[in-house]
């Protein structure tokens, strides 16, 4: 399902501004899937389901942006993707991310998108 294409951080920021609480008013999980969809990953049908994943409501209390990214990541890449997210953001659980107050939810959206859209 992953088809990683080159995308700049500026493009990711622009897309995050548009989708995450922007014109589309998506939560973090919906935004990651919407951005992945417009970048060519077949996951648009998952966006309505992702409405329940934002705000720390995803399974295990994971950050919704991470949870959405993992939902479209091949099984064999999920552990590495989770660790990349943890290294970049500091935590993987929404509650811990918010408590640390070191990054924004939009930062999490951008990082979630990097996991599925950016080449290593």
> What is the SS3 string spanning the chain?
CCCCCCCCHHHHHHHHHHHECCCCCECHHHHHHHHHHHCCCCCHHHHHHHCCCCCCCCHHHECHHHHHHHHCCCHHHHHHHHHHHHHHHCCCEHHHHHHHCCCCHHHHHHHHHHHHHCCC
- What pTM did the predictor assign? 0.92
Q: What is the mean pLDDT of each run of 10 residues along the chain (120 residues)?
A: 66 92 93 95 96 94 98 97 98 97 96 87
């Amino acid at each position: 399902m992953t088809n990683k294409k080159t995308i700049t951080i500026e493009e990711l920021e622009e897309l995050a501004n548009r989708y995450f609480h922007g014109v589309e008013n998506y939560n973090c999980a919906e935004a990651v899937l919407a951005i992945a969809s417009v970048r060519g990953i077949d996951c648009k049908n998952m966006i309505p389901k992702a409405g329940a994943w934002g705000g720390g409501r995803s399974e295990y209390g994971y950050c919704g942006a991470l949870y959405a990214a993992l939902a479209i990541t091949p099984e064999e890449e999920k552990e590495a993707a989770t660790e990349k997210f943890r290294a970049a953001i500091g935590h993987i659980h929404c509650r811990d991310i918010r408590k640390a107050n070191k990054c924004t939810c939009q930062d999490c959206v951008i990082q979630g998108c990097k996991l599925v859209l950016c080449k290593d």
